[in-house]
Amino acid sequence: MLTVYGIKSCDTCRKARTYLAQHDIDFRFHDVRDDGLDIQMLERWSARIDWTKLLNKQSLTWRKIPEVDRSDMSESKAFALMIENPTLVKRPVLEADEFFAVGFSEARFGEFLKRNA
C-alpha cells in the first residue's frame, strides 16, 4: 500500500492526492503534523534517499530558524529539527515497498503507475 506523508493544508500534497485519486491509486495519507513524525520514519526514508533531499530549505519554517541552528547541518541535527518542526520535511513523501519519492512530479507519479499497472 502506498502511503503519502505530508500536511493536509499543503497545496503540493493536495495536488499529489488529487493526482493519485484521479488515477484510481489506493493510498493512505499520513499528516506529519497531526499524525506525527518520528526518528524511525526519517531513518527509513534516509536509507532510500539522501537525507539532504528530505530537508525543505525553501520553507518559511526554515527561514525562521536562527542561522546558528542552520549552520553546520548534519543528519542528526536535521532529523531533530524535522521532528520538532514537521513542516521542514519536503513533501509529499510517497512510500511503498517498491517505490519512494519526495516532492510532487507527474513524471515520478507516472513511474509509480507504470510499476503498479
Q: Which domain holds residue 62?
A: 2-115
Q: How many domains does the chain have?
A: 1
Q: What is the CATH number of the domain that holds 17?
A: 3.40.30.10
C-alpha cell at 8: 493536509
User: Does the active-site annotation cover 10?
Assistant: yes
Query: pLDDT by residue (tens digit) across 88-109?
Result: 999 999 999 888 999 988 887 7
Check 4, 7, 10, 20 and give the catalytic one: 10
Query: pLDDT by residue (tens digit) across 70-89?
Result: 999 999 999 999 999 999 99
